[in-house]
């Protein structure tokens, strides 16, 4: 049987300190959460953690040298460094609009990297 895992829930500003208890039958029991989202987060965090990745890409011909980007959805935590490596390779030309896809299906995750800011000078 696995040892209990304690973590801080990041689903809302409360930041509940939750504990995942591993039962003998293989199920998990969560305590310390103030809402159902905390239980869902905790179970997922100990089995298949995911994250949103935020970064920036280089822009040519824009008002600024970079534009902010993020993954459109969560990706497996273990893919973060691979995703960042791909983001570092990107160099786009202005104009860039919020929601523009900078990288499709990054690292085979099925998730796109999208712009989170405008840079409309061209």
According to the model, what pLDDT value does residue 122 have?
Answer: 59
CB 62 within 8 A of CB 81: no
Instruction: Look at residue 54 and tell me whether its pLDDT is greater than 90.
Output: yes
For the entire predicted model, the pTM comes to 0.83
- Model confidence over 71-103: pLDDT tens digits? 999 999 999 999 999 999 999 999 999 999 999
Segment holding 69, helix H or strand E: strand 66-71
Beta-bridge mates of residue 93: 60
Q: How far apart are CA 80 and CA 109, in angstroms?
A: 11
- Model confidence over 1-44: pLDDT tens digits? 789 999 999 988 999 999 999 999 989 999 999 999 999 999 99
Q: Structural domains in the chain?
A: 5-47 (no CATH), 54-115 (3.10.530.10)
């Amino acid at each position: 049987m696995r040892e209990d895992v304690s973590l801080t829930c990041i689903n809302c500003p409360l930041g509940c300190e939750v504990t995942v208890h591993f039962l003998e039958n293989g199920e998990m029991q969560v305590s310390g959460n103030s809402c159902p989202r905390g239980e869902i987060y905790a179970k997922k965090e100990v089995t298949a953690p995911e994250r949103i990745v935020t970064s920036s890409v280089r822009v040519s011909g824009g008002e600024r040298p970079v534009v902010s980007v993020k993954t459109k959805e969560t990706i497996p935590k273990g893919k973060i460094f691979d995703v960042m490596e791909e983001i570092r390779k990107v160099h786009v030309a202005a104009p860039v609009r919020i929601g523009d896809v900078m990288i499709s299906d990054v690292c085979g995750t099925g998730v796109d990297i999208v712009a989170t800011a405008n840079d409309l000078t061209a």
